[in-house]
Structure 1
Amino acid sequence: MDDDDQPLIPGLPDDISLRCIARAPISSNPTLSHVSRSWRSVLRSPFPFTLRSQLSIADPILTVSIRRPTTGQSLWYHLLPRLHHHRPLPIPPPPHPTVGSSSVPLGPRLFLLGGSLGVPCAHVQIYDSRLRRWSLGPPMSSPREFSAAAAVRGVIYAFGGCRPSAASWSESLDPAATLPRWSRVPSPHGVRQKWMHGTAVLGGKLLAVADRGGIVFDPAAASWGPVPPALVLGWRGRAAVVGEVLYTYDYLGKVRGYDWEKGEWRQVEGLERELPSFLCGATLANFGGLLCLVWEGRGKERGKETEISYAGVDLSRTEGGGIRGRVVWLECGVLKVPRGSSVSHCVTLEL
Structure 2
Amino acid sequence: MSTSTNTAAVKPSTPPEPTQPPRLIPSLPDDLALNIIARVPRRHHPTLSLVSKSMKSLISSPLLYAARSLLSCAEHFLYISLRLHTSHFMRFYTLYQNPNNPLNPKYSLIPLPLIPSPSLVGSAFAAINHKIYVLGGSIKDIPSPQVWSLDCRTHKWEPAPNMHVSREFAAAGAFDDKIYVIGGCVVDNWARSKNWAEVYDPKTGKWNSVPSPIQIRDKWMHASAVIDGKVYAMADRNGVCYEVKSGNWETVDSDLDNGWRGRACVIDGVLFCYDYLGNIRGYDVKEGTWKELKGLEKGLPRFLCGATMANLGGKLMV
Q: Smaller-chain TM-score range?
A: 0.7 to 0.9
| Alignment correspondent of 2:24 | 8
Separation in 2, partners of 1:138, 1:75: 22
| Alignment correspondent of 2:173 | 150
Q: Is contact 2:143–2:166 with CA below 8 Å preserved after alignment?
A: yes
Separation in 1, partners of 2:290, 2:199: 31
- Taking only the aligned residue pairs, the percentage that are identical comes to 43
Q: Which residue of 241, 245, 248 maps to 1:216?
A: 241
Separation in 2, partners of 1:102, 1:128: 17
1:68-94 residue CA offsets vs partner (Å, 9 max, x unmatched): 235421222111258623432110121
Please, which moves more after superposition, 67-76 or 248-257? 67-76
Separation in 1, partners of 2:135, 2:209: 16
| Alignment correspondent of 2:57 | 41
Amino acid at match of 1:79: L
Map 1:22-61; keep pairs closer than 5 Å: 22-61=38-77
Map 1:229-268; keep pairs closer than 5 Å: 229-268=254-293
Q: Which residue of 152, 157, 163 maps to 1:140?
A: 163
RMSD: 1.9
Map 1:265-284; keep pairs closer than 5 Å: 265-284=290-309
> How far 1:174 moved relative to its partner?
0.6
Separation in 2, partners of 1:131, 1:90: 13
| 1:4 to 1:278, Cα distance in 2 relative to 1, 3 A | farther
1:37-88 residue CA offsets vs partner (Å, 9 max, x unmatched): 3222211223212322344431111111211235421222111258623432
Separation in 2, partners of 1:163, 1:53: 42
1:157-209 residue CA offsets vs partner (Å, 9 max, x unmatched): 111000235221011111022xx111011111122111001000111111111
1:197 aligns to 2:222 (yes or no): yes
Q: Which residue of 104, 108, 116 maps to 1:87?
A: 108
Q: Is contact 2:182–2:233 with CA below 8 Å preserved after alignment?
A: no
Tell me the TM-score normalized by structure 2.
0.86
Separation in 1, partners of 2:98, 2:173: 27
SS at match of 1:89: strand
Separation in 2, partners of 1:190, 1:240: 27
Separation in 2, partners of 1:5, 1:35: 15
1:198-227 residue CA offsets vs partner (Å, 9 max, x unmatched): 000111111111022110101111010100
Q: Is contact 1:240–1:247 with CA below 8 Å preserved after alignment?
A: yes
| Alignment correspondent of 2:182 | 159
Amino acid at match of 2:177: G
Larger relative strand fraction: 1
| 1:133 to 1:145, Cα distance in 2 relative to 1, 3 A | same
Map 1:162-201; keep pairs closer than 5 Å: 162-165=185-188, 166=192, 167-177=194-204, 180-201=205-226
| Alignment correspondent of 1:317 | none
Separation in 1, partners of 2:79, 2:157: 14
Q: Is contact 2:276–2:305 with CA below 8 Å preserved after alignment?
A: no
> How far 1:283 moved relative to its partner?
0.4
- The count of corresponding residues between Structure 1 and Structure 2 is 289
Tell me the TM-score normalized by structure 1.
0.78
Separation in 2, partners of 1:40, 1:70: 34
Separation in 2, partners of 1:197, 1:158: 13
Structure 2 unaligned spans of 5+: 1-18, 100-104
| Alignment correspondent of 2:133 | 111
Work out which structure has the larger RCO, using CA pairs closer than 8 Å and 6 or more positions apart in sequence: 1
Q: Is contact 1:254–1:278 with CA below 8 Å preserved after alignment?
A: no
Separation in 1, partners of 2:276, 2:55: 51
Q: Is contact 1:63–1:78 with CA below 8 Å preserved after alignment?
A: yes
| 1:86 to 1:229, Cα distance in 2 relative to 1, 3 A | closer
SS at match of 1:182: strand
Separation in 2, partners of 1:292, 1:159: 25
Q: Is contact 2:92–2:111 with CA below 8 Å preserved after alignment?
A: yes
| Alignment correspondent of 1:73 | 89
1:19 aligns to 2:35 (yes or no): yes
